[in-house]
Structure 1
Amino acid sequence: MAEQVMVIGVDESEHSFYALDWTLQHFFRPNATPYKLTIVNATLPSIPHGAAFLGSPNLMPTIDADLKKLTNRTVQRAKDICIEHNVQSVETEVVEGDARNVLCDSVEKFHASILIVGSHDYGVVKKMGLGSVSDYCAQHAHCSVMIVKRPPKPMT
């Protein structure tokens, strides 16, 4: 039987790292059903260096460099969380584009049987303006989708 593939979407948010940590605790225990793990980070497209609307042409390389650093930190943190859970065999992929499309495309590309995404738990107004990656994936991904929510912070 072929190994099943699990795709996990991560970004720089604590919600996505919580989802990764939760998934590793629950799906990657000793003697658990083995999954091939693929971590996908969707990034903003590079800014064209001719984009006059941002002002100084010297600003674009700085913004691109900062986005690349953020992406590298995000992917490295995800790898570190995997190492903490003794999950050594993990593939990472960074793809430019809207996270909704990137994750659904990754499901197809890797023939995933499950997609894991975190939830920012936005209210209705923010969801309408921003769109919910988890809602979109639940409707459009061609596999099972698990949305992992962080527990609410206790009131003090």
Structure 2
Amino acid sequence: MLVALDESEHSFYALEWTLNHFFAPNVGHSFKLHVIHARPSPASLLGMGEIGSGEFVTLMETDLKRTATWTIEKAKAMCSDKSVDDVSMEIVEGDPRNVLCDAVDRHHATILVVGSHGYGLVKRAVLGSISDYCAHHAHCTVMIVKRPKLKH
């Protein structure tokens, strides 16, 4: 089982949901858990590889590494809190769509779990939907976990 993470609360909810439903204590499970964080490259965020000063790109690279490390450390803590110790954590640089589909193949995953940001039609058209892409291209079952809306 592969769980995709970014730094959003939506992806951490998907991890928590997975831990609660597939790795409950005292329940036998047949899954090996892999958690993967796709870290964008500075060039992909800038749109073109040659834009920006060297110092700016270095600062951006440092920030991306820090965010990736924070994301994985939080995931480790969540797994540990649920007594799920047999888990692998991975940070891969690249477009999340490609990183996740490649990871499915590399780990022979039978299930890919992704969180849903809940974008509407316009935002999804502009920003793209990683979960939609994976649902159509990953060679396994894709579970899209939506975080419940909070009632006021």
Shared fold (TM-score greater than 0.5)? yes
Once the two structures are overlaid, the 10-residue window that deviates more, 10-19 or 90-99, is 90-99
Q: Which residue is equivalent to 2:35?
A: 39
8 Å contact from structure 1 (residues 9, 116) kept in 2: yes
Identity of aligned residues (%): 50
CA shift at 1:57, angstroms?
A: 2.6
Q: Secondary structure at the match of 2:147?
A: coil
Q: Which residue is equivalent to 1:3?
A: none
Of the three residues 86, 90, 93, the one matched with 1:96 is: 93
Match runs of 1:1-156 below 5 Å: 6-29=1-24, 30-47=26-43, 53-54=51-52, 56-155=53-152
Deviations 1:28-82 (A, max 9, x none): 012232210000100112449xx5522x332222111111101100010011110
| CA–CA separation in structure 1 for the residues paired with 2:121 and 2:59 | 35
| CA–CA separation in structure 1 for the residues paired with 2:132 and 2:50 | 35
How many residues align? The count is 147
Q: Say what the alpha-carbon RMSD is for the aligned residues.
A: 1.4
AA in 2 matched with 1:151: P
Who wins on radius of gyration, i.e. which is larger? 1
AA in 1 matched with 2:35: I
Segments ≥4 residues shifted beyond 4 Å: none
